[in-house]
Amino acid sequence: MLNPRPLSGIALSRYGGLGLGLVLSMAATLTPPEPVARAQGMGAIVRSFCLTAVEAEVARSGKTAPAGMADFACQCVADRLERGSGLDEARASCRQATARRFPI
C-alpha cells in the first residue's frame, strides 16, 4: 500500500520520494561542463552548420572548392564567434580571409 507524502504540493509515494532523493543527491554530485567544453561543443555545432552552408554555396557556384577551403572558412567563423564577434562580422571577415587563401 502506498503512503503518499506531500512535497512542495506534490504527493509522492514512499518509493517515489526515495527515488527523488536519490536523483537529487546524484544531481548534486554532478558538475556542469567547463566553459571550454561548452565552447568546443558550440564550435562543433557552428562548424557543422557552416560546412553545410559552404558546400551549398560552392555547389551553386558550379566551381570546385580546393581541399581544405571549407574547413579553413568554418574554423575561422567558429574562432571569431568564440572570441566575441557577431555572426555577420565573423562571416564577412572569414569570407575575405578564405578568398585570399583559396582564390578560385
pLDDT of residue 85: 93
Counting the structural domains of the chain, the total is 2
The predicted-structure confidence for 11-68, as pLDDT tens digits, reads as follows 434 444 433 343 334 344 444 445 544 556 788 899 999 999 999 999 999 999 999 9
Domain co-membership, 43 together with 24: no
* Listed residue (1, 3, 23, 19) closest to 11, CA to CA: 3
Domain co-membership, 26 together with 39: no
Is the pLDDT score of 79 beyond 50? Answer: yes
* Range(s) of the domain holding residue 10: 1-30
pLDDT of residue 95: 93
Helices (H) and strands (E) in the chain — how many of each? 4, 2
Domain co-membership, 24 together with 47: no
**End-to-end CA separation in angstroms for the chain:** 76
pLDDT of residue 75: 94
CA distance linking residue 51 with residue 41, whole number of Å: 15
pLDDT of residue 29: 45
pLDDT of residue 104: 79
Domain co-membership, 45 together with 26: no
pLDDT of residue 38: 53
